[in-house]
Amino acid sequence: MKIGKGTNLPKIYVTWPHQVKVGNNCIIEHGVYFHYDGIYSQGPSIIIGDHVFIGNNTEFNITNKISIGNHSLIAAGCRFVDHNHGTEKKTLIRNQVAPKYEIILEKDVWLGCNVVVLKGVCIGEGAVIAAGSVVVKSIPAYEIWGGVPAKFIKKRM
């Protein structure tokens, strides 16, 4: 696991430490779970920028890749999942290939408590996501979104 200068880690959970890279001067609260959900491969696949805050009990459930931009704020209880299961009727769900797509949070993004971000989403620079939202599609820069699924609320001023 690569940890930048000025970043201290409390009690966290990590399945494959080499898959995680955390930048400089980050604040990571207790109970964060860095779960690389794949077989061994070269890393890192979970990349956290500089000056990022990650609240307690946040979970990264990643098989492909996630990158969090500098100066982003991730409140407690957020979840990031970059894959899901197939849904063909003729095959058991557990035996189907799991589609997986990278998640990107650009710099200065703010996620409220308990936000869920799903596969293939890019959240643009300076965007804000309301607490409890489920983000299923990409969000442009400097917009505020919220709800289940998340919808546009307004532009930041």
44 prior amide bond cis, ω within 30: yes
The yes-or-no answer on residue 51 being catalytic is no
d(Cα 147, Cα 45) in Å, to the nearest integer?
A: 28
Q: Compute CA distances 58 → 12, 47, 117, whole Å.
A: 10, 15, 11
Catalytic residue among 18, 30, 71, 85: 71
Q: Kindly report the CA angle at 21 between 43 and 6, in degrees rounded to 5?
A: 160
User: In the 3-class helix/strand/coil scheme, how is 18-82 assigned residue by residue?
Assistant: HHEEECCCCEECCCCEEEECCCCCCCCCEEECCCCEECCCCEEEECCCEEECCCCEECCCCEEEC
Residues with catalytic roles:
71
